[in-house]
């Protein structure tokens, strides 16, 4: 039994509402609401489905996943060992960050790959391919119609197909223009079905909008097998490739790349890269950072200056402003530093964006060093979390951080007091019980 229901749908974002309005309540566009008719199926029967065969998972033999190496070591590590055959991978990031470059590099490293672009012509892609170190030839299709793309992939059966980008693809079965939520979701679902049935690895490229929701990759994360985000400042040379979701590997794994004239180049020793311009001056501190399974050193910079306005400024680049406000409040309350009359600026060198709590102590140390205009101990690093009561809390993977410090030749490491005693003859370990002990280093 079915009945017709009148609905009003936005042609821009696909949002539905029960009555007409001049402006879409979801995306804010004017004149995009149109009336449609939807047939609502009302079922009065119970148990009308087909009984399916039940599988006992304990009796299944473990089979290794079939993976294809991309010959890009950082990418293979982030993926968990390479591209899984028949998987759907979403490569997201801000416009201009280097997604298309990385996608073309992947295609150039694999045999029997097809690069499908709805944004660029064959001449433009070929010109960009000449700058890359291509191992294999790349087949190219300029197409935006999903039905044509599916038919082509069914016939050619490539090992890897790259769709750049999903916002330009449209299906004839879905109303609305290319790029709206309905089109993006429907196209992704059909590509997922093709990947599983034809055993083709498909990589779709998606742009992140400011909201990260409207027609963006955020709406697709639950549909795909793997979500990779390319992060960083497009005006800086370094990029982080982060696995936000991975059904076939570790989530949170990170690969570091350098943007060059010849494409993205893998950074095999990130600590040396980020520390090559470091100088032991006031307001600078080195801290070990955990990104996935990697440990690398970064430089935290601070500038403390007498405020010229009625309200002091707190600006952080690569570090959360809210976290900075908390650290400043703790330093003002517990150490009696008169920071209410000073502007405080924090910068993470290299354009990185750090979120782990282990950076807290390094930020606090850089601020104190800048306030007293006194450099931190030479050849030293510091890490730890700061609580609201001013206590210092230990963080995870302490031994891994120290191992990296020893490898790079650091002589001293400062960290919160632990329940266990760490001992090594290769580096001097100094456990801090409070922020007051930290202050003694500058007095």
Contact status, residue 189 vs residue 223, Cβ threshold 8 Å: yes
Name the CATH superfamily for 67-267. P-loop containing nucleotide triphosphate hydrolases (3.40.50.300)
Beta bridge partners of 89: 203, 226
- Exposure on the CB side of residue 58, measured as CA atoms within 13 A: 0
Contact status, residue 304 vs residue 367, Cβ threshold 8 Å: yes
pTM for this predicted structure: 0.78
Separation between Cα atoms, residue 408 and residue 272, nearest integer Å: 8
Instruction: Residue count of the chain, please give it.
Output: 443
Beta bridge partners of 285: 300
Please report the pLDDT score of residue 123 as a whole number.
92
Nearest 10 degrees: Cα torsion 374, 378, 382, 386:
-10
Please report the pLDDT score of residue 213 as a whole number.
41
Say yes or no: do domains 67-267 and 272-442 share a fold.
Answer: no
Provide CATH code, domain 272-442. Answer: 3.30.230.10
SS3 call for 162: strand
Please report the pLDDT score of residue 57 as a whole number.
80
Find how far residue 326's CA is from the centre of its chain.
25
pLDDT tens digits for range 34-43: 887 565 554 5
The helix or strand, by DSSP H or E, that contains position 26, with its residue range, turns out to be: none
pLDDT-flagged residues of the chain (< 50): 1, 42, 212-216
The residue assigned the tokens 């960050």 is 97
Please report the pLDDT score of residue 46 as a whole number.
55
SS3 call for 68: strand
Domain ranges of the chain: 2-41, 67-267, 272-442
Positive or negative: CA dihedral 133, 135, 137, 141: negative
What single string gives the DSSP state of each residue in 201-265?
Answer: EEEEEEE--SSS-TTSGGGTTTTSSEEEEEES-TTSSEEEEEEEEETTS-TT-EEEEEEETTEEE
């Amino acid at each position: 039994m079915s009945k017709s229901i009148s609905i009003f749908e936005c042609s821009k974002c696909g949002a539905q509402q029960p009555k007409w309005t001049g402006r879409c309540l979801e995306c804010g566009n004017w004149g995009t609401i149109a009336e449609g008719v939807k047939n609502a199926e009302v079922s009065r029967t119970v148990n009308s489905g087909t009984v399916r065969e039940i599988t006992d998972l304990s009796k299944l033999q473990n089979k290794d996943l079939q993976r294809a190496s991309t010959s890009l070591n950082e990418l293979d590590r982030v993926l968990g060992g390479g591209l899984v055959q028949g998987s759907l991978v979403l490569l997201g990031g801000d416009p201009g960050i280097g997604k298309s470059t990385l996608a073309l590099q992947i295609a150039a490293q694999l045999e029997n790959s097809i690069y499908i672009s709805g944004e660029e012509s064959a001449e433009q892609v070929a010109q960009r391919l000449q700058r890359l170190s291509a191992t294999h030839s790349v087949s190219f299709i300029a197409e935006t119609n999903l039905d044509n793309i599916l038919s082509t992939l069914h016939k050619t059966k490539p090992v890897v197909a790259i769709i750049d980008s999903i916002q330009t693809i449209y299906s004839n079965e879905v109303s609305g223009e290319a790029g709206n939520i309905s089109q993006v979701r429907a196209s992704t679902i059909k590509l997922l079905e093709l990947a599983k049935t034809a055993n083709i690895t498909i990589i779709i490229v998606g742009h992140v909008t400011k909201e990260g929701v409207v027609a963006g990759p955020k709406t697709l994360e639950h549909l795909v097998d793997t979500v990779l985000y390319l992060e960083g400042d497009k005006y800086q040379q370094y990029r982080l490739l982060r696995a936000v979701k991975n059904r076939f590997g570790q989530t949170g794994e990170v690969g570091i790349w350098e943007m060059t004239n010849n494409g993205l180049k893998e950074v095999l020793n990130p600590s040396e890269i980020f520390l090559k311009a470091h100088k032991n001056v006031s307001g600078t501190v080195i801290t070990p950072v955990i990104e996935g399974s990697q440990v690398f050193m970064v430089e935290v910079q601070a500038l403390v200056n007498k405020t010229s306005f009625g309200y002091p400024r707190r600006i952080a680049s690569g570090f959360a402003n809210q976290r900075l406000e908390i650290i400043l409040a703790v330093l003002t309350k517990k150490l009696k530093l008169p920071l209410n009359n000073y502007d405080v600026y924090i910068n993470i060198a290299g354009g990185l964006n750090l979120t782990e709590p282990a950076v807290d102590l390094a930020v606090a140390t850089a601020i104190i060093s800048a306030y007293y205009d006194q450099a931190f101990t030479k050849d030293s690093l510091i890490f730890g979390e700061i609580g609201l009561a001013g206590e210092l809390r230990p963080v995870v993977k302490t031994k891994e951080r120290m191992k990296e410090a020893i490898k790079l030749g650091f002589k001293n490491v400062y960290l919160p007091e632990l329940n266990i005693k760490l001992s090594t003859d290769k580096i001097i370990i100094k456990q801090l019980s409070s922020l007051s002990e930290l202050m003694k280093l500058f007095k």
